[in-house]
Chain A
């Protein structure tokens, strides 16, 4: 979209002073500041109820901030830009059954790009490329219902990849996956070469995939730094109800 005049690419994601109160009066976010450069892979960590999901729903304008602003690839999230913003922010939801709502895998992957105006051969190409990227091309004509959990998760990823997003947002990508499916998904994600924001409770997964982590608790950012350093700080983890699996400890570099 943007002309090649700029010397540096704009930040993939810039959030500043974001605050949000739900209609029932619960304040979920108290001023979040964070920025993610193009190509970064960042884990968003925090206990249940910290505001992670609320933050994610602001990134593509499903929730409208009370204060502060969000910009994706330099484009502010406003009502007028909503369509383009939703193309730029690809959210993979936690339960693939929520994400895969069309009768066949192919139709589901085509849903996003078709909404964004891609048609005909270009659409077929997009669908094929996205399914290929997640290793599901041979299942294009099956019903999502007949796929395994890991396959469904990868198709859900493909539905978003087909929109060619600026930033991929993954909500608990490793939940309900067996170890092999979990590893296969990690391989797919590492091979994508895209900006990724991954919301997770799975700390080893965050360490494996994301060089940088952001911890939020009670609606504010409480830590932002290299994942290994954050996970090697037992006090920080304890304060924010984060915990490495039994038997694991990490030493900072």
Chain B
């Protein structure tokens, strides 16, 4: 399915995880992240448990950890923020590796770092095992507002069209001697962005006309008739049960 409709976060494989209906995975990922966030930050061992759980899912889905970790770099800006906290945080201060750092700041940084990382890894796992069109279909089945899923579906289709248009405009500028490396030529680029906006807006109007002409009533029709079974839900929510147990353990030992 979906030949040639790859996005950089998707890893095409055939596995039990890939085969699950998208809405099950969306719910499972969401609940999993809720469990992580609800865990007290002092329960250090529990976070290791979450990582093990994710690793187990990766091995079932046959996602190489290296492939995931490269994409997890998106988190870096938040890590930088987290590193600042122990230095700028309030008293009491403790000595750690010869540095005087704030204890609440250190715990806060750990909290951001570990929960953020687990959240990013969970989202990446969802993205790696679910093609975008299916993700949207899943949201539609979860009764997400029709307007949101429609906009997302159209965005998915048109982002490539708009990128191609931007590339053609850039080529046309360069072909006439424009060199955007010079600061004083940034104006032409800015005007290019403006006209790209106008063009996209006009295209939006034409697409809307074309949709109306084919009887559009405000909601994309649900085309795939695959029925999600109780078994799908049970299998998809099994890791969530483990995560919930981990979260409870965290509250007990903290």
Residues of A in contact with B (beta carbons under 8 Å apart):
57, 60, 62, 83, 86-87, 89-91, 93, 95, 97-104, 106-107, 110-112, 114-116, 120, 123, 141-146, 159-160, 163
Contacts and interface: CB of A to CB of B under 8 A. Distances in A.
A103 B4 contact: no
Interface string B129-157: 00011000000000000000000011011
Contact of A163 (B154, B211, B215): B215
Interface stretch (B35-43, B51-59, B94-102, B202-210): B202-210
Interface residues of B, number: 30
B153 A102 contact: yes
Contact of A159 (B156, B203, B214): B214
Given A86-B212, A91-B213, A116-B215, A146 B4 contact: yes
Contacts of B132: 103
Given A110-B221, A112-B215, A115-B215, A93 B5 contact: no
A95 B133 CA distance: 23
B153 A93 contact: no
A87 B56 CA distance: 51
A98 B203 CA distance: 7
B157 A103 contact: yes
Interface string B1-29: 11111000000000000000000000000
Nearest 5 pairs of A and B residues by beta carbon: A114-B221, A115-B215, A112-B214, A98-B206, A103-B133
Given A86-B212, A103-B133, A112-B215, A141 B223 contact: no
B167 to A, nearest CB: 13
B2 to A, nearest CB: 7
A143 B4 contact: yes
B188 interface: no
Nearest to A145: B160
A104 B207 contact: no
16 contacts: A62-B212, A97-B161, A98-B209, A100-B157, A103-B157, A111-B211, A111-B216, A114-B223, A115-B214, A115-B221, A116-B215, A120-B225, A142-B3, A159-B214, A163-B214, A163-B215
